[in-house]
Amino acid sequence: MLVKVNNLVKRYDQLVAIDHLNLEIKEGEIFGLLGPNGSGKSTFINCILSLLKYDKGSIYIFNKPMTPDAYDIKRDIGVIFQNVAVFDELTVYENIAYFCSLYVKDKSEVKRLTHEAISFVSLEEYIKHYPKKLSGGLLRRLNIACGIAHKPKLIILDEPTVAVDPQSRNKILEGIKELNKQGATVIYTTHYMEEAEQLCNRIAIMDKGKILALGSKEELKEMISIGEKITIEVFELNNIRIQEIKRLPNVLSVEYQDTILTIKSIKGKNNLVHIIEYLSSHEIIFHQVITEQPSLNDVFLEITGKELRD
């Protein structure tokens, strides 16, 4: 195991931020920590980086206990915090070189790694620019370059795409996949389920300092009763009809709002056929029909009773 966390507890006075958390992260995976704001993701990251003092538990990285002085472990970790942490007085190149030089002593090696990091985040055009002159997306890319320039084996990204435009976000996600391909293990925290679905091999769903569910996205979706979500555009539907639809085979729930009928059903054959037949036989006019597999948001909703972005 690359990271092993045993029975971790972190309290802020009366508030339990991390509640007896156990976790193992395998080498070579992209591990996602998915949870709403305030669920304890960043606190967990800061604990495993030994920035925060925790009340109970143990943390092992590369099979060694993680402590503030564990420089041999830190040398192989790269961290990208959710806030951009660069020096405004240094150029893009100087910033990356400075943070790289905290890990690598050889000057020529620092130079080589800095150029590689610049190329990796596609900031070649901006090497002489100062951070204040960069857009939000470019700043995020600089922030990432500062964290990964020394080619770490374990990369921890704490919500790196917050307030980033879609183009830059895709660029960042592609970059993370590329880093993983090159051999880095990635821990990625986010409250965007799409990102977690797109990127992660395994995902832990967190809330109130606890891991509520853990597995691959397919495994997580298997854990919940919803098997299919059907959305149909219906212009008119009375309450009696809604109640009748609810009684159709496999239907779990029915919602009708603003001409959109949303039906969630358990896994089963011909779910859509039953609904379409019902609508046709009762001469209910319908238009667009969409069927979807359940999302991680559905998983989160079923486990916690609230939306991921609540």
Question: Which is it for the CA torsion 138, 143, 144, 150, positive or negative?
Answer: positive
- Residue placing its CB nearer to other proteins in the complex, 88 or 218: 88
Contacting other proteins within 59-78 (CB under 8 A): 68-69, 71-72, 74-75, 77
Question: What is the rounded CA–CA span in Å between residue 75 and residue 45?
Answer: 17
- Residue placing its CB nearer to other proteins in the complex, 85 or 285: 85
* SS3 state of residue 240: helix
- Residue placing its CB nearer to other proteins in the complex, 79 or 237: 79
Q: Classify strands 30-34 and 202-207 as parallel, antiparallel or unpaired.
A: parallel
- Residue placing its CB nearer to other proteins in the complex, 97 or 172: 97
Question: What is the rounded CA–CA span in Å between residue 60 and residue 62?
Answer: 7
Contacting other proteins within 137-196 (CB under 8 A): 146-147
Contacting other proteins within 103-142 (CB under 8 A): 103, 107
- Considering the complex, what minimum distance in angstroms separates the CB of residue 137 from other proteins? 18
CB contact at 8 A, 298 and 226: yes
CB contact at 8 A, 27 and 154: no
51 counts as binding other proteins under rule CB under 8 A: yes
CA-based max dimension of the chain:
77
Q: Which residues contact 246 (CB under 8 A, 6 or more apart)?
A: 253, 254
86 counts as binding other proteins under rule CB under 8 A: yes
Q: Which residue of 9, 16, 84, 301 would you call a contact of other proteins, by CB under 8 A? A: 84
Question: What is the rounded CA–CA span in Å between residue 227 and residue 249?
Answer: 13
Q: Which residue of 90, 162, 223, 289 would you call a contact of other proteins, by CB under 8 A? A: 90
- Considering the complex, what minimum distance in angstroms separates the CB of residue 101 from other proteins? 6
- Considering the complex, what minimum distance in angstroms separates the CB of residue 289 from other proteins? 48
Provide the β-strand partners of residue 260. Answer: 233, 257
Binding site for other proteins (CB under 8 A): 12, 46, 49-53, 68-69, 71-72, 74-75, 77, 79, 81, 83-87, 89-90, 94, 97-99, 101-103, 107, 146-147
